[in-house]
Structure 1
């Protein structure tokens, strides 16, 4: 079923069942559908129609989801925007996406060519009376990459992509109408949209939205709202694990937490589950694959240190630099194939052709597949460090550092060196109230890593810099290093 019709179906089948909530709203299916129709009417009055793009630059709130479904109803696509973008950054996305309308808090114009709509006006129009456009081949989402290797690129996901991914998620995560997702990740990211919104809503379940993750109130929300699952990044799980030992929340409603977007250490996953009493399902995916490609099973063997097996309907392969598929156990680039693979990068046919080859999405991640079909991510092709001709994968070193008592998180980068080409530099943050030393960390690494893999320098800092999605920002770490040695 095309998502443009989902609010109709929910309102017709269970009009008074709860659908979606945030800090200030709690909408039933009937109320949500009415809000979607009103917003669609406003969009239509502004000239939005089939093939147009609506930009949504809002914090996490019900109106974000209302606007998204309203745009889809008219046959328009949505490009979610980080509300923290500067005007220059926002202008790039608006121009590149060809957005016709921008929904933001104030209605302030970012660029003259794109009309802006204050979020309060979404309820100000007459309900749209036309039939929803239901075309699976139509563009649904333009997700802009984080831009770590240049200007952000628009990942084109059509309705067939998001429906396929939602169906895979419902099946693998066993999500039903009884499920209630607590959404804490940003809605401008594909994870927040697909895993925390589309999957529960298309299952007949419901969503409670929080504007942002708050470590001090998260478990209060869990105890009060009684969600059955949530999705988060390793940084969030590390922060929760660092809570004082006397914090003993009541978590019986949670069936599991989903962990993705960045690698998590085995120690973090094991300690978290032992302390809080519910499993973490580590998965793997990227925007170009509509969010997720593998997951550790909820009701099967969960292998710590892996990101699980492929979702039913997807295939995973490991390839050498020339694209030749490698045997089980070999290390190489992770490839993904399935109906979840993006249409391509907007306006960038050459980059699309390099990324999708013979139907296989080249992820840029390095991994290996074990005898049971579980994928382990070793690192990123572009993050791989080559020291004196030896390939070094940062994740292996990061995992070792995270095993050191009191370490909250660690990140490893390669920096230029006259003799070896590159050397390993690490950044480590300890838990609040715990002090560690470089000497102790060096001894720890000496016992666990071959000489060439050991960090040449270990920097202890208060916290690691993050990007808007919560991933460690290694570009900033490299800049910090450059500023330090200059």
Structure 2
């Protein structure tokens, strides 16, 4: 089913069934379809035509999803903009995308050309008819977080979304009884695909949570009774450290999904034991429309891995020359399938370097274990070379994570006048836990070769994060560079 006609089709099949909700609105299928038609009419009156781009600068709320489907109804694409960006950052994305309308609500940067309040709740007449289905039409422009320069617009067409949603529905076993609780931002493809499009296409429904707050999460679960949610490791870490007296009713949840960054096996075990919710860890990129591997819901889940290749995609490991690695050694993870992006907007050279003969080069180092599960070793760009020896920060991070006092870890390289680089670990502790840097150094000595051990362990209250919740190692490297230290 083409995304543009999904609201109408749901309304035709079961008009009174629940569709989508947030803290302010609860819409049935019929009401949601009506709002999409009305919004499409309002956008059309603002000049939106097939092939155009609509920028949406909104926090998580129902109207963002309405705008998404309204644009698709007109044959336009959407670029969702993080409302926490500065005005200059938002303008860069808007100008880069060529958006003809910028929808906002006044809560974010002052860049909107149309207020969300101007989207009528009821259409005047039937509203614009959906444009003829075109799988190759651009659907989403997702801008990367910009850790390697200016953010790039990842072009995803409707064929990408259709393929990815079908894979997600099959992999997680979604059906009409499923109800997602959205806690991830809707300016990221994971939130759109996993928590909105897939459950709606499967006949289920979605509830949009506001800004994530650990203390408010489980009361929301008990109130709306979702069957699953998707989150990043940082969210699971915060939930795992809630006060011991927090013992919520989680019986409605059949699973939780983890993506965006590898999750330490120790944290998975701690969360599952406490809340009795199985975590299904997966892996993917915006350039791959969200996910490429996943631990099987109905099979063996292996913490410390990101699962098996999703049926419908090929995942392989290649060496520096692009030759496939089949002996279990690490190499770059590459992905091929109908979910691979159309390219980077207006960046043909970067597209050609990233997608080679249909294979998406992820920039991640990984290996397959003896059962075919993908183990992520690290990012290629994060590898530290100390005196000619390659060090993958994730190995050090995993060792530090195994200490009972440690909550989160990030290891980055610091310049060294003789060795080139040395690893430095930034560590946060569990609430109420105590551990010194010296104790953590001793802990590392029992598991790591001398050259892999951190030159320094820095205790910090929190770790910096980028807009999608990943630890921002760029800022940590900048901190080390600003300190000017090259000892180690």
1:483 CA displacement: 2.7
Give the structure-1-normalised TM-score: 0.97
C-alpha contact (below 8 Å) 1:90/1:110 kept by paired residues: no
C-alpha contact (below 8 Å) 2:90/2:109 kept by paired residues: no
Distance (Å, rounded) in 2 between the aligned partners of 1:399 and 1:383? 15
Distance (Å, rounded) in 2 between the aligned partners of 1:227 and 1:368? 34
Q: CA RMSD in A?
A: 1.3
Query: Is 1:74 aligned to 2:71, yes or no?
Result: no
Give the structure-2-normalised TM-score: 0.97
Distance (Å, rounded) in 1 between the aligned partners of 2:211 and 2:407? 21
Q: Describe the SS at the equivalent of 1:291.
A: coil
C-alpha contact (below 8 Å) 1:231/1:259 kept by paired residues: yes
Distance (Å, rounded) in 2 between the aligned partners of 1:106 and 1:331? 48
Cα separation, partners in 2 of 1:397 and 1:47, compared to 1, 3 Å: same
Distance (Å, rounded) in 1 between the aligned partners of 2:294 and 2:401? 22
Distance (Å, rounded) in 2 between the aligned partners of 1:427 and 1:311? 34
Encode CA deviations 1:10-51: one digit per residue, 9 max, x unaligned: 000000000000000000000000000000000000110100
Distance (Å, rounded) in 2 between the aligned partners of 1:108 and 1:285? 28
1:370 CA displacement: 1.8
C-alpha contact (below 8 Å) 1:328/1:368 kept by paired residues: no
Distance (Å, rounded) in 2 between the aligned partners of 1:378 and 1:391? 12
Cα separation, partners in 2 of 1:252 and 1:107, compared to 1, 3 Å: closer
Matches within 5 A, 1:59-70: 59-70=59-70
Encode CA deviations 1:380-407: one digit per residue, 9 max, x unaligned: 0000111111111111111111111121
Distance (Å, rounded) in 1 between the aligned partners of 2:447 and 2:107? 55
Q: Describe the SS at the equivalent of 1:64.
A: helix
1:484 CA displacement: 2.8
1:108 CA displacement: 9.3
What is aligned with 2:136? 137
1:106 CA displacement: 3.1
C-alpha contact (below 8 Å) 1:5/1:132 kept by paired residues: no
Q: 1:121 aligns with which of 118, 123, 144?
A: 118
Distance (Å, rounded) in 2 between the aligned partners of 1:336 and 1:443? 39
Q: Which runs of 5+ in 1 are unaligned?
A: none
1:435 CA displacement: 2.2
Greater displacement, 57-66 / 391-400? 391-400
Q: Which runs of 5+ in 2 are unaligned?
A: none
Matches within 5 A, 1:222-237: 222-237=221-236
Matches within 5 A, 1:314-333: 314-333=313-332
Encode CA deviations 1:463-483: one digit per residue, 9 max, x unaligned: 111111111011111122223
Q: Describe the SS at the equivalent of 1:123.
A: coil
Q: Describe the SS at the equivalent of 2:332.
A: strand
Distance (Å, rounded) in 1 between the aligned partners of 2:245 and 2:104? 41
What is aligned with 1:410? 409
Cα separation, partners in 2 of 1:109 and 1:222, compared to 1, 3 Å: closer
Q: Describe the SS at the equivalent of 2:119.
A: helix
Distance (Å, rounded) in 1 between the aligned partners of 2:109 and 2:235? 34
1:371 CA displacement: 2.4
Aligned pair count reads 483
Matches within 5 A, 1:11-410: 11-106=11-106, 116-123=113-120, 126=124, 128-410=127-409
1:244 CA displacement: 1.6
What is aligned with 2:479? 480
Distance (Å, rounded) in 2 between the aligned partners of 1:423 and 1:129? 60
